[in-house]
């Protein structure tokens, strides 16, 4: 993961994810991806935009595409008063996908 951000890939350590997993497959290694549910709370820096293609490979330090998409689509768990529930897990302040929403589950 890139800076404790789920659904991202560290482009410095693994610049070509497909080639990496293809090499492992050729060696008989089966890859299982593990994604923790906490999404780091990281509003975009002023003027920052997400990469148009392969945002998971782009730097996330100024704009974290997963947080931005989830917030824009209202996919995060909420409290009874309607505010987004923010918890703390290993990346610090985190939000959680409301998988009871069909659109959020597909996302």
Task: Please state the pTM of the whole predicted model.
Answer: 0.77
Q: Identify any residues that bridge with 92 across adjacent strands, giving them in sequence order.
A: 89
Q: What residues does each domain of the chain span? A: 17-106
Taking Cα atoms as reference points, which of 56, 98, 53, 49 lies closest to residue 78?
A: 98
pLDDT digit string, tens, across residues 97-106: 999 999 999 9
- Tokens 């050729």 locate to 26
Q: Is the pLDDT of residue 1 over 80?
A: no
pLDDT digit string, tens, across residues 27-73: 999 988 776 779 999 999 999 999 999 898 888 999 999 999 999 99
């Amino acid at each position: 993961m890139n800076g404790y951000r789920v659904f991202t890939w560290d482009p410095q350590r693994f610049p070509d994810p497909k080639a990496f997993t293809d090499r492992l497959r050729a060696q008989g290694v089966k890859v299982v991806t593990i994604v923790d549910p906490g999404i780091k709370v990281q509003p975009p820096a002023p003027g920052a935009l997400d990469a148009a293609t392969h945002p998971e490979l782009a730097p996330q330090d100024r704009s974290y595409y997963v947080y931005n998409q989830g917030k824009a689509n209202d996919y995060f768990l909420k409290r009874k008063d309607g505010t987004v529930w923010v918890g703390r897990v290993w990346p610090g302040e985190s939000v959680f996908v409301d998988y009871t929403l069909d659109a959020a589950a597909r996302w």
